[in-house]
């Protein structure tokens, strides 16, 4: 018979898997409690870092429909459950792992599929959501400016063509009569 505390832990981990936009599996061997607290702060409010037993995580992942993490669940395991932007959490984990050799990123899970260590690192290399949105807005503004110039071009081309035709006719003498005010200007 399963102990109630373990059943509760499995349910909690399964709920975190279901509610997370991404999760990153790490090994925390050799990290102190103070270092783990620093890591939790670095992850920010949109991510939770949970240390759990591998057997409980395997059961919770199975309950939540998360597949492909079994081979990552060896040794001391902790999982970062990300509710917000996965890029920010991946960057925080990567940067913390650079400074603290006790943290090792094993892989993760996002968009219904497992992630390798290389994919988590590529995710960490992405620009933040705000920067990408700003770049997109700039590109869209540039395209709108190009479109406005393109729409304005035919009208100005017609005006230049009409002026060139008027000038050509005036040179040939076939053009329209000189306006009265222009004739008055030339006689004065």
What average pLDDT score do residues 134-162 get?
77
Total of domains in the chain: 2
Burial 164-183 (b: 16+ CB within 10 A, else e): eeeeeeeeeeeeeeeeeeee
Identify whether 44 is part of a domain: yes
Q: pTM (2 decimals)?
A: 0.66
Give dist(CA 94, CA 80) in Å, integer: 12
pLDDT confidence of 154, banded at 50, 70, 90? confident
* DSSP type of residue 52: E
Cβ neighbors of 82 (< 8 A, separation 6 or more) are 20, 21, 22, 23, 24, 46, 47, 89
Q: Is pLDDT of 186 > 60?
A: no
* Residue 39 lies inside a defined structural domain of this protein: yes
Residue 58 pLDDT exceeds 70: yes
At 134 the three-state DSSP class reads helix
Contact 103, 96 (CB under 8 A): yes
Taking the mean position of all CA atoms in its chain, how far away is CA 186? Answer: 68
Q: Which two tokens stand for residue 117?
A: 């260590």
Domain containing 99: what range?
A: 4-126
Residues 118 and 153 in one domain: no
Q: Are residues 30 and 68 in the same domain?
A: yes
CA 175 to chain centre: 63
Q: Do 116 and 149 have their domain in common? A: no
Burial of 72 (0-12, 13-18, 19+ CB in 10 A): buried
Q: Is residue 112 part of a domain?
A: yes
Distance between the two ends of the chain, CA-based, in angstroms?
115
Backbone CA torsion sign across 40, 124, 87, 128 = positive
pLDDT digits (tens, 9 = 90+) for 96-146: 999 888 899 999 999 888 889 899 888 888 777 777 778 788 878 777 777
Do 73 and 39 lie in one domain? The reply is yes
Tokens 């035919």 sit on residue: 154
For residue 90, how many other CB atoms are within 10 A of its CB? 27
Same domain, 122 and 53: yes
């Amino acid at each position: 018979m399963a102990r109630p505390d373990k059943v509760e832990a499995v349910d909690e981990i399964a709920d975190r898997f279901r509610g997370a936009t991404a999760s990153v599996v790490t090994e925390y061997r050799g990290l102190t409690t103070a270092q783990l607290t620093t890591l939790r702060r670095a992850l920010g409010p949109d991510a939770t870092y949970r240390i759990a037993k591998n057997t409980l995580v395997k059961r919770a992942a199975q309950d939540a429909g998360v597949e492909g993490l079994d081979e990552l669940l060896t040794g001391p395991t902790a999982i970062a459950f990300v509710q917000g932007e996965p890029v920010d959490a991946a960057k925080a984990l990567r940067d913390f792992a650079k400074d603290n050799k006790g943290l090792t990123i094993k892989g993760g899970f996002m968009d219904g599929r497992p992630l390798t260590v290389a994919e988590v690192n590529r995710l960490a290399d992405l620009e933040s959501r705000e920067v990408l949105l700003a770049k997109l807005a700039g590109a869209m503004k540039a395209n709108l400016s190009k479109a406005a110039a393109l729409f304005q071009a035919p009208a100005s081309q017609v005006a230049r063509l009409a002026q060139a035709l008027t000038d050509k006719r005036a040179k040939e003498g076939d053009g329209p009569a000189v306006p009265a005010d222009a004739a008055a200007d030339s006689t004065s």
